[in-house]
Amino acid sequence: MTPPPTPTSTTAAAERAGGRLLLAVLGGLAVALAAVPLAVLVRSGYAPVVRLDLRTSAAAEQAVSGSTPLLALARAVTLLGEPLLLTLAATALAVVLAARGRSRLALYVVLARVGALVLSSGLKLAVDRSRPVFDEPVATALGASFPSGHALGSAAFWATTAVLLVPRTRRPWLLLGSAVAVAVAVAASRVLLGVHYLSDVTGGLLLGLGWAALLTAVFTAWRADEGRPVDPVQQGVDP
């Protein structure tokens, strides 16, 4: 029979919960602050950023107009960051994890996806940037341009999925690096398709990876508070 909690143990548990909350708040602020400088530069039309974006978009337009295979590849790769598909994949993964009694991991997946959607939508409203315009558009997209929802969402989803799979591989850094590579490829596809500028996808990648890192830190601290310290790079967040 489990003994009732003592005042001391209750106080210690409350302190640990407070510590996790503080870590989450500080991490959230760090993620937000990391995006603020770039968002401000974009919002204010900072000339060096604008020039780089325009040059990159022009080069992308020239590249895809002269290469049908490259255009086809960009259209295929961009699906790995399609918001609806990521939401469906995250939902399915969370349901499977919950059904197997891994409710903490299910929460991890849900928070990763919901947080990515909130960050993307909030900054799009705040910055309200128009999308690039190609002379001969090869793709269209709705909504504001900064940050790229595809880049942000894919970075958060594939990074957290890689963390879940870390316990099943002997090469965790290769797995994590592959997740980042997928997100970068999605970001590049958005520029090639002419629906985002370079700064849009850069901001999306930084925010998505930052959000995934924050969640991983909070869930790792949660385990440590329970006396089960874990190295997330070697063992994930709840092996």
Per-residue pLDDT tens digits for 52-94: 999 999 999 888 887 889 999 999 999 999 999 999 999 999 9
What would you measure as the largest C-alpha separation in the chain, in angstroms?
74
Q: Find the helix packing angle between 198-225 and 103-127, rounded to 10°.
A: 150
**Cβ–Cβ under 8 Å, residues 198 and 53:** yes
Q: How many CA atoms lie within 13 A of 160 on its CB side?
A: 34
Strands (DSSP E) along the chain, which ranges?
none
Q: How far apart are CA 165 and CA 163, in angstroms?
A: 5
Task: Say what the alpha-carbon torsion angle 184, 185, 191, 197 is, to the nearest 10 degrees.
Answer: -10
Compute the average pLDDT of residues 116-125: 93
**Cβ–Cβ under 8 Å, residues 76 and 92:** no
Per-residue pLDDT tens digits for 35-60: 778 888 998 888 999 999 999 999 99
Residue 100 pLDDT > 80, yes or no?
A: yes
Q: How far apart are CA 85 and CA 8, in angstroms?
A: 47
- Average pLDDT of the chain is 84
Its pTM stands at: 0.83
